[in-house]
Structure 1
Amino acid sequence: MLTDPTFYLLAIPAVILLGLAKGGFAGVGAIALPLLALRISPVQAAAILLPVLVVQDAVGVWAFRKNWDREVLALMIPSAMVGIVAAYFLAAKVSATVVLAVLGAISVVFACYRLWISRGGRVPVSSNAPRALGAALGFASGFTSQVAHAGQPPFQMWVLPKGLSPQVLVGTTAIFFAVINLFKIPAYVALGQFTHENLTAAAVLIPLAIASTLLGVWLVRRVNAERFITIIYVLMIVVGLELLFKALR
């Protein structure tokens, strides 16, 4: 079992943010993996967080089970699975330094995109864009989710212009990521990352994950957390740049 106090100092806020994201504060959980990668390898960090995500997904899907869009899921889930397979081969064939650099770059791009959207920037996809683009964005979402548990930006580029109601948007997002997180499990098994140490660390964090997800479900209907979310994305840029510098070193 991981006993490093610094790991848990990073893991506890990371899991809380994951829970808030699963509960409806879309995107803020993307900083969780970069935070853990400051202390352990990004592939190990992703393997520890995956069981946590699966449990949180179950809570989120149950909470929003009546609100989802069938067309979006039917288009994007199959292509996302192809993206997951492609990312698996990346992690299996390249060094940890390359994975660290990819994670850092994804973190910076993700945070900049979210800040741009929050400042009124337009999603660069129209509501009547061809379905082939939706499939391509599904692939990108699966790829970035496998590498960094950060598949939100490509997914949102396709979904946000659809004008779904807030409840349907949250529910569709919850189901999409629940399915692809389950699909990621065999990839991490093949990478040899579901060790006793990693699974024990995940088990320690799961109760906090459930509590924070329920908190997110409760809060998302009651508060406007725009300033809090902005701070998280700025912090994510800082962490992403640190990961890039770490990879370069």
Structure 2
Amino acid sequence: MLTDMTFYAAAIPAVALVGLSKGGLGGAFALIGVPLMAIVVPPMQAAAIFLPILLVMDAVALWAWRHYNNRATLFVMLPGAIIGIGLGWATSTYVSAEAMRLVLGTIAILFALKFFIDTYGPLAKGEVAAAPERPVAATFWGTAAGYASFIAHAGGPPFQVYTLPLKLDPRVYTGTSTRFFAIVNAIKVIPYFALGELDKTNLSLSVMLLPVALLSTLLGAYLIKRMQPKVFYPLMYGMVLIAGAKLFYDGLKGL
């Protein structure tokens, strides 16, 4: 596997796309990563190879966005995320990843379409005011994000459903997202060890792909730090729409 060029032909683009996402360019890129690598290795192995890479990406992204954060958002979302990961671990044998992708995809598509209709549709009323922090909604969407991240590696859309309406500064939004998923991914190490997927072969492949992960994460951070809100938010909602369509398609195909 370490010398199989077919593997690297799929794995390098997959890791680069996830790195751009980790740098701040939206969750749609991250959703493409594992399925792309799963073309050449079994899906569970692809996810296992990605986990150490994600942890390193998280470390780089945390450094790149160390000055930007919204503690209030993390405070209200993380308890739900921890609950969601626990629920995912407990019910992973009963709920299919395909069903979860289908539900999340539907929610993400409707959420993104509402934004574009409200902003650019014939009945648009101009810019919508930023939403306040809402602890009940944050717990619900945080739980969904933690659960989806464990079951289907798809925690981005539920996180965005809650956070995008807050209309944070793009840099603060990205820094908050980086911290949230760094914590979620760190917690997910425990069940992966329990499943025996972090073996010598998979860890060796992870190490080989790390340079691509580091460079693409820094590139994503560089681009986002120079992006204005009027460009950033339509781009993010567009990414949610793409991510939702991808999740919906994968879920429908797998049922």
Normalised by the length of structure 2, the TM-score is: 0.79
Residues 1:15 and 2:23 aligned together: no
Partner of 1:183: 187
Question: How big is the shift at 1:129?
Answer: 6.7
Question: How big is the shift at 1:40?
Answer: 3.3
Give the number of the structure whose alpha-carbon radius of gyration is greater.
2
| TM-aligned CA distance change 1:129 to 1:232, over 3 Å | closer
Q: Name whichever of 142-151 and 205-214 sits farther off.
A: 142-151
Residues 1:156 and 2:160 aligned together: yes
Percent pairwise identity: 37
Partner of 2:38: 37
Q: What are the superposed Cα offsets for residues 111-140 of structure 1, whole Å, 9 maximum, x if unpaired?
A: 635753673558xxx824741221111110
Question: How big is the shift at 1:33?
Answer: 1.8
Q: What are the superposed Cα offsets for residues 4-24 of structure 1, whole Å, 9 maximum, x if unpaired?
A: 544332221111111111111
Contact 2:109 2:244 in 1 (8 A): no
Distance 2:91 2:153 in 1: 15
Residue type of the alignment partner of 1:88: W
2:172 alignment partner, one of 168, 173, 179:
168
Contact 2:101 2:152 in 1 (8 A): no
Distance 1:113 1:205 in 2: 35
SS of residue in 1 equivalent to 2:62? helix
Question: How big is the shift at 1:38?
Answer: 3.7
| TM-aligned CA distance change 1:173 to 1:88, over 3 Å | same
Q: What are the superposed Cα offsets for residues 151-210 of structure 1, whole Å, 9 maximum, x if unpaired?
A: 112112222222211111111111111111111100111122111121111111111100
| TM-aligned CA distance change 1:177 to 1:65, over 3 Å | same
Residues 1:70 and 2:71 aligned together: yes
| TM-aligned CA distance change 1:170 to 1:23, over 3 Å | same
Contact 1:59 1:213 in 2 (8 A): yes
Partner of 2:54: 53
Question: How big is the shift at 1:74?
Answer: 1.2
SS of residue in 2 equivalent to 1:119? helix
Where in structure 1 are there 5+ consecutive unaligned residues?
A: none
Partner of 2:102: 105
Partner of 1:132: 136
Q: How many residues align?
A: 240
Partner of 1:82: 83
Q: Name whichever of 232-241 and 168-177 sits farther off.
A: 232-241
SS of residue in 1 equivalent to 2:76? helix
Partner of 2:249: 241
Distance 1:197 1:110 in 2: 37
Distance 1:11 1:232 in 2: 23
Please, what is the CA RMSD of the aligned residues? Answer: 3.2
Distance 2:106 2:91 in 1: 19
Distance 1:130 1:230 in 2: 24
| TM-aligned CA distance change 1:242 to 1:157, over 3 Å | closer
Residue type of the alignment partner of 1:25: L
Distance 1:20 1:10 in 2: 16
**Paired residues for 1:212-227 under 5 Å:** 212-222=216-226
Where in structure 2 are there 5+ consecutive unaligned residues?
A: 120-129
